[in-house]
């Protein structure tokens, strides 16, 4: 299926179970299509089937479909363009991500953790090892060799043979994403990005001049690999940005088959895959380990893998890295110099110290995330039983399905009650995902429990304010 066109058969599929005899047929049909747009199953920008085709497919009168489309147009969910039919859109602009204020708010607008135990003692050991380094000039354009050796060994152990020359150390993975975007995307290039996706990566790719095309990820169904293949063939993008382990915000992990197919498409069309694996070490359930997506590539430069110390150890250690071909490392070194001249030596030494005995750190972090995930599950069951948590088997957040399109309104109401949280549309390209909210599991269980109580109260505020008849909307589902 093309993300730009919703074929008749696909829309009939999405509408299956819709009953024309229910209430006023056209308004029920409009409500149903509206929900498909707001929760992202119909991507903004996609062209809907013609009125005649849809009427024939649904076996209803053309007037019914015409009235439904007119109602959606009046509400701003459809736009009619001469010669290009009816195009789905989200009315209004997506809300801004809340900015944390000092004070005792619960901040779930960011999925970030406090430092892992052992960080302080590793810093002390690193300081002790600093003096010989002080006799050098301290500029390490590709990163400290000692750290690159350790990172290369870790990849090799995971089934991805790697040499230290293939590793390039950055100041955190956000700067790796932004550098990759500036180096490999030229203004006007098409770039495929996951939707929902990681907002700061989307912004970095936009800032490099990329024109973003959607690649759907569903918490239950996974990656729309057929859609990716079609988008690539039709639009010939330069690059695709992915988070195969674990996708932020759905927490989904790519299957072996999905990895193979995405890489095959990329190699067939000469596209670079930028794989953000900042949370790849954070599996919360026992699963058979799958090799990093780069291990599925035939050519060394197809996949550019990004890693980070922030989610396993601490965000204050500004250490991220890129694993790619030696040729790409050379290009990145040249490109970095307009922005910075290397990552901090002391931070790299601290992280290298921690890598000497990394398993206990991963155990600590995954235990903490697991406890918070379980607390979230319990709290939702108790306070918001109709909300559905995505199967959260790894990563740092859960993508929670709300049974009404009110995510932005809830985030605003929650803020007034002391909870900062990013609404679903923040993670979309065009304001979709009003029926989802991302709940980070990086906070401790007590904070998560309290946050869910606030969300339940915020939902009450929204209902009170809007008198939204959720049952009539849910009936149309
Ligand atoms: C998926 C993902 N990638 C990258 C980053 C950037 O993190 P850092 O720059 O601290 O490595 C984050 C931070 O939240 C993230 O969630």
pLDDT tens profile 74-127: 888 898 877 778 998 877 655 554 554 556 689 999 999 999 999 999 999 999
Is the pLDDT at 25 greater than 60? The verdict is yes
Report how far Cα 54 is from the mean position of its chain's Cα atoms.
33
CA angle, corner 170, sides to 167 and 174, nearest 5? 120
Average pLDDT of the chain?
Answer: 91
Sign of CA dihedral 187, 191, 194, 198: negative
The span from the CA of 295 to the CA of 155, in Å, is: 10
Does 178 sit in the ligand 1 pocket, CB within 6 Å?
A: no
What distance separates the 2 farthest-apart alpha carbons in the chain?
A: 82
| Substitution site in 198, 251, 277 for ligand 1 pocket (most atoms within 8 Å of beta carbon) | 198
pTM summary value: 0.83
Does 111 sit in the ligand 1 pocket, CB within 6 Å?
A: yes
The span from the CA of 263 to the CA of 271, in Å, is: 9
Is the pLDDT at 36 greater than 60? The verdict is yes
When pLDDT is averaged across residues 277-287 and rounded to a whole number, the result is 94
Is the pLDDT at 22 greater than 60? The verdict is no
Quickly state the pLDDT bin for 469 (edges 50, 70, 90).
Answer: very low
Q: Which are the contacts of 417, defined by CB distance < 8 A and separation ≥ 6?
A: 454, 457, 458, 461
Percent of the chain with pLDDT over 70: 92
In the three-class reduction of DSSP (H, G, I as helix; E, B as strand; rest coil), residue 323 is classed as: strand
When pLDDT is averaged across residues 151-167 and rounded to a whole number, the result is 97
pLDDT, position 17: 66
Is the pLDDT at 208 greater than 90? The verdict is yes
Q: Residue 396 is encoded by which pair of tokens?
A: 């740092």
When pLDDT is averaged across residues 122-134 and rounded to a whole number, the result is 96
pLDDT, position 471: 44
pLDDT, position 470: 44
Q: Provide the terminal-to-terminal Cα distance of the chain, rounded to the nearest Å.
A: 22
pLDDT, position 468: 45
The alpha-carbon radius of gyration of the chain (Å, integer) is: 24
Q: Residue 46 is encoded by which pair of tokens?
A: 């996609």
pLDDT, position 286: 86
Report how far Cα 201 is from the mean position of its chain's Cα atoms.
9
Choose among 172, 202, 188: nearest CA to 274: 202
Does 198 sit in the ligand 1 pocket, CB within 6 Å?
A: yes
Residue with tokens 């940005």: 241
Does 243 sit in the ligand 1 pocket, CB within 6 Å?
A: yes
Q: Contact 142/455 with Cβ under 8 angstroms?
A: no
> Which atom of ligand 1 approaches the CA of 248 most closely?
1
Q: Residue 357 is encoded by which pair of tokens?
A: 């005995």
In the three-class reduction of DSSP (H, G, I as helix; E, B as strand; rest coil), residue 252 is classed as: coil
Is the pLDDT at 43 greater than 80? The verdict is no
């Amino acid at each position: 299926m093309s993300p730009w066109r919703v074929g008749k058969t696909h829309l009939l599929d999405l509408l299956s179970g819709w009953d024309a005899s229910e209430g006023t047929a056209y308004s029920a049909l409009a409500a149903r299509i509206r929900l498909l747009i707001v929760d992202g199953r119909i991507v903004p920008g996609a062209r809907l089937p013609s009125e005649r085709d849809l009427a024939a497919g649904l076996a209803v009168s053309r007037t019914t479909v015409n009235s439904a489309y007119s109602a959606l147009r009046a509400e701003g969910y459809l736009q009619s363009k001469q010669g290009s039919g009816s195009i789905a859109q989200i009315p209004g602009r997506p809300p801004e991500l809340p900015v944390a204020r000092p004070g005792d708010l619960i901040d779930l607008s960011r999925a970030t953790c406090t430092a892992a135990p052992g960080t302080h003692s590793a810093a002390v050991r690193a300081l002790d090892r600093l003096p010989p380094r002080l006799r050098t000039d301290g500029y390490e354009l590709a990163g400290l060799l000692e750290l690159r050796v350790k990172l290369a060994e870790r990849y090799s152990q995971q089934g991805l043979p790697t040499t230290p020359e293939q590793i390039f150390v950055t100041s955190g993975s956000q700067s790796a994403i932004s550098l990759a975007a500036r180096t490999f995307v030229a203004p006007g290039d098409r770039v495929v990005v996951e939707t929902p996706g990681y907002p700061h990566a989307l912004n970095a790719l936009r800032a490099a001049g990329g024109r973003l095309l959607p690649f759907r990820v569903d918490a239950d169904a996974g990656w729309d690999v057929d859609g990716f293949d079609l988008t690539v063939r039709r639009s010939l993008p330069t690059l695709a940005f992915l988070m195969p382990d674990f996708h932020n915000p759905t927490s989904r992990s790519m299957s072996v088959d999905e990895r193979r197919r995405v890489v095959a498409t990329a190699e067939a069309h000469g596209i670079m895959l930028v794989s953000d694996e900042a949370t790849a070490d954070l599996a919360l359930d026992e699963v058979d380990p799958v090799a990093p997506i780069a291990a599925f590539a035939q050519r060394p430069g197809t996949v550019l893998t990004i890693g980070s110390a922030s989610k396993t150890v601490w965000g204050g250690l500004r250490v991220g890295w890129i694993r790619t071909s030696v040729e790409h490392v050379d290009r990145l070194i040249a490109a970095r110099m307009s922005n910075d001249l290397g990552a901090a030596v002391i931070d790299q030494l601290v992280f290298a110290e921690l890598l000497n005995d990394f398993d206990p750190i991963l155990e600590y972090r995954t235990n903490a995330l697991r406890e918070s995930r379980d607390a979230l599950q319990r709290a939702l069951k108790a306070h918001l039983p109709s909300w559905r948590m995505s199967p959260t088997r790894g990563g740092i957040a859960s993508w929670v399905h709300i049974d009404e399109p009110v995510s932005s309104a809830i985030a605003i109401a929650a803020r007034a009650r002391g909870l900062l949280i990013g609404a679903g549309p923040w993670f979309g390209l065009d304001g979709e995902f009003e029926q989802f909210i991302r709940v980070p599991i990086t906070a401790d269980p007590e904070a998560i429990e309290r946050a869910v109580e606030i969300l339940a109260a915020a939902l009450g505020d929204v209902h009170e304010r809007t008198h939204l008849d959720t049952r009539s909307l849910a009936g149309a589902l």
